[in-house]
Structure 1
């Protein structure tokens, strides 16, 4: 396997939602990598771009590829490239342009796929409007005054694809819900929020939750799928309002219960607490607190420890007292729950409180919620990603430059292993799982220097990362997958 970097041009690799495609620009070429975990012949396709390199590359999420009268299908992937004057939509097999949208107004803030792979939405400068371009009909629709251009300002309902979007036409925040494809207005609701920070659909498509700015105190407004106000959550009743620092972020549990419904809405607070709301009533069932409890029923705590001068590390069991000694309060951004992510079956919740950003807390939600484990690191946690179908967690910390990944799974000792890839001086590595059979645990790991695809294996008690493929820049300046 060739691990040389060659020209050393930074790689900005854009991965699809399922991790099965990677794309980036090399010179004037668009390069697509598919089936990265395949042991067969490599699949790399290259196409010449019409104009200057795009400012962004995005994939259609797998649930948005396209629809037919018979239902949804994911047999075709699409991606878009966009610069100041042109949006191109590509299909990868074979790699060619499916459609072009030209004469884009200058200063667009964001470009995304819409309700499916045949829709492109463009947020215009100054948030004046949102344009929806229909690739199959050539038609264009418009929604005025979107409040945000990022993904928290709008969302498509799972499966049926109605659009919910926050607007700011005047002084008040407004939530509107629109029909799929026609974008006819279903409902319009003026919000009681001071400054709404975002919205999220529940994965079962039954609810839309909107949260207010933290300075307003705890306020989460829940609407039905057709935009009718259902509940307003303002925090546990026993909490003194003078100590209410408001909401940092929210997260829905997966729709994996017996009726494919969402059971829980997690509300991450600025004070470092997490309120768990049951969706039957949207009242607080439990509040999780990021405080180590020193008692006989303490959870298993794992502390990162360096084992040699090269920076290799391992996890060792730790006591609550030693965990405190390794958990200095953050002097960085304001306090709040910075990471909050559910396992694929909804039974576990991983969180990070920015006050002790080097600690990853893992909570069991079966029965009465409780802290089941905590991982204490030398550096702040940068990323925590659950496997799409198994209770396995990959963790990245803000390292100096060592390519290292951390792994956790219930009932097993967590592991730390070096990844055989070139060091990145910024220490900013990213991980992403690949979708695949449940027994497979393959993931991407990389930075602007190089990306590798592989899996963790144990041999003679040692854990190693086995590389299947790597994406790098070759001496001619082009990127390729090499084995």
Structure 2
């Protein structure tokens, strides 16, 4: 196997979505290389006052646009957008006094850039006008902010930005189209405490996962791409549900033909992506007795003779070991 030349970078090198380029960051420049030859395709000088280095507390991140024609450099204090087609142009979003906190995440949305701050505030930077317009505030306290918003990107379909917000103890789903800072639609969700928002790979569905404490009520709610309610699982009925002490699903993940729900008992429920009814339930793994390894402890006598004491089948709690005597090791 032949080894390529070393690409100098203070952060992980980032390949473009189309595989034609590799971006690398140095203390003074952002370099873009051709993957075929590793020669420099273009370079962008960095501001010395805002240059991210390996000694910096903040970790710079590189994001490629879906078309692989632009690259975003993100730090907690500023964001810069660089175009491969026009290397002399650069768009920079400064965080100013950081009154909204550090910049937590960015993404390209149409011709603009979505900026999310660490306390949940969301803004759209309109590249053509050079200004940021705040469009709402994400729901916080549910783990990662990234689970509260998402952009639909499907070939042949318009991009749609979905935001999971919370106002006056009510969960809200907002949908926006590119080149717009006003929501296309706003939906009040029937959730108790929504935790995750996710687009299906086809872009047809949005799934909202409720808290695991919502059981026996519906755990996941499905909406169409334009915000119309479609179905819930488990289905809502007019018959009062029996009291239960079990937890609902903890995580959700879309696949090509199923929506997977990770349950609290370790099992996984696969839902059909048409009827959103269970296709099958995968039970948690169990370890057969024959697959458990026997555990022994070596003992060495004062004469140097070795023996092994059987401790049982693993795993063994290390706190259960007795303190070795003077003639053991």
TM-score calculated relative to the size of structure 1 = 0.49
Distance 1:49 1:206, change over 3 A: same
Distance 1:185 1:247, change over 3 A: same
1:38-53 equivalences in 2 (<5 Å)? 38=36, 40=37, 42-43=39-40, 45-50=42-47, 51-53=49-51
Indicate whether 1:273 and 2:267 are aligned: yes
Superposition RMSD on alpha carbons, in Å? 3.5
1:59-138 equivalences in 2 (<5 Å)? 59-62=63-66, 74=67, 76-92=68-84, 95-102=87-94, 104-106=96-98, 107-116=101-110, 118-127=111-120, 129-138=121-130
Q: Provide structure 2 residue ranges, at least 5 long, that are not aligned to the other structure.
A: 53-58, 294-329
Contact between 1:58 and 1:112, CA under 8 Å: does it hold in 2?
no
Q: How far did 1:241 drift?
A: 7.1
User: Which residue pairs with 2:315 in the alignment?
Assistant: none
Contact between 1:25 and 1:53, CA under 8 Å: does it hold in 2?
no
Distance 1:5 1:205, change over 3 A: closer
Indicate whether 1:287 and 2:284 are aligned: no
SS of the residue 2:147 aligns to: helix
Q: For this pair of structures, how many residues does the alignment match?
A: 272
- For residue 190 of structure 2, the aligned residue among 178, 189, 192 is 192
Q: How far did 1:286 drift?
A: 1.0
Instruction: Give the Cα–Cα distance (whole angstroms) in 2 for the partners of residues 53 and 173 of structure 1.
Output: 39
User: Which residue pairs with 1:33 in the alignment?
Assistant: 33
Post-superposition Cα deviations, 1:127-149, rounded to whole Å, max 9, x if no partner, equal 2x311012134354321221147
Instruction: Give the Cα–Cα distance (whole angstroms) in 2 for the partners of residues 102 and 153 of structure 1.
Output: 24
Contact between 1:53 and 1:83, CA under 8 Å: does it hold in 2?
no
Larger radius of gyration: 2
Distance 1:34 1:273, change over 3 A: farther
Instruction: Give the Cα–Cα distance (whole angstroms) in 1 for the partners of residues 292 and 86 of structure 2.
Output: 56
Distance 1:219 1:275, change over 3 A: same
Post-superposition Cα deviations, 1:245-285, rounded to whole Å, max 9, x if no partner, equal 3222212223xxxxxxxx42111222221111112221112
- For residue 57 of structure 1, the aligned residue among 57, 61, 86 is 61
Distance 1:78 1:5, change over 3 A: closer
1:55-454 equivalences in 2 (<5 Å)? 55-62=59-66, 74=67, 76-92=68-84, 95-102=87-94, 104-106=96-98, 107-116=101-110, 118-127=111-120, 129-148=121-140, 150-158=145-153, 159-217=157-215, 219-234=219-234, 242=244, 244-254=246-256, 263-291=257-285, 324-325=291-292
Instruction: Give the Cα–Cα distance (whole angstroms) in 1 for the partners of residues 18 and 282 of structure 2.
Output: 31
Structure number with the bigger relative contact order (C-alpha 8 A, sep ≥ 6) is 1
